[in-house]
Amino acid sequence: MQILGICGSLRKASFNMAALRACQEMMPQGMAMKIATIGDIPMFNQDLFDAGLPESAKRLRTEVTEADGVLIASPEYNFSLTPALKNAIDWASRPPNQSWQDKPVAIFSTSAGPMGGARVQYDLRRILGQLWAHVLPRPEVFIGMAQGKFDAQGKLTDETTRKFLADLLTGFKAWIVRMKPR
Ligand SMILES: Cc1cc2nc3c(=O)[nH]c(=O)nc-3n(C[C@H](O)[C@H](O)[C@H](O)COP(=O)(O)O)c2cc1C
């Protein structure tokens, strides 16, 4: 199973990217993940779309379409999605052949605050649901107070968090199988 990882933060020292990289190292057997670049995708503008997709947007659409599943890690910005993540979702959402159709998706959030960015997850479920993506209902993983869970190199040092992420990945593998058209 080829998984596409998408990080909602563009920050070099992003905790979400660090957590996504930790996931990359602990993928269940038979699963591999590459992480998308979304920072170079221009702000969505229908005129750009109509003029012919920018290369970066075309690349993302192809990556989402070809992936067996998409794993999204994101902080919440002001209780909702980051602009980079919403932009990436929007570029991949326009017909024809919108990329989220029937796509298994798993999400988790990481934040420096105590709530672990929980609120972005509900907005993500709402947005992706109406695009006919299938978002794994549980387990929900919220990594709060992230500054204490990663070392200076961005390595995940908190074993409880590692276990939560491992459970999410195991659940995601089963979800992808379950969502496959028969
Ligand atoms: C514009 C902006 C809005 C933010 N809003 C929230 C918020 O609503 N809730 C929260 O827990 N953290 C919020 N934060 C703090 C982020 O959770 C924190 O910066 C986090 O480390 C970002 O994730 P990253 O490390 O992956 O970049 C906000 C940060 C920014 C820049």
pLDDT in tens, 87-130: 999 999 999 999 999 999 999 999 999 999 999 999 999 999 99
Could you give the C-alpha distances from 29 to 15, 108, 167, in angstroms and in order?
A: 25, 20, 13
Q: Ligand 1 site: residues with CB under 6 angstroms?
A: 9, 11, 14-16, 75-79, 110-113, 115, 117
Q: Calculate how far, in angstroms, residue 38's C-alpha sits from the geometric centre of ligand 1.
A: 18
pLDDT at 182 over 80: no
Residue closest via CA to ligand 1's atom 31 equals: 77
d(C-alpha 89, C-alpha 8), whole Å: 10
Residue closest via CA to ligand 1's atom 16 equals: 111
- Mean pLDDT to the nearest integer, 46-72: 98
- Mean pLDDT to the nearest integer, 133-148: 98
Percent of the chain with pLDDT over 90: 98
| Residues 5 and 74: beta-carbon distance below 8 Å | no
pTM, full prediction: 0.98
Could you tell me how far CA 82 lies from the centroid of its own chain?
12
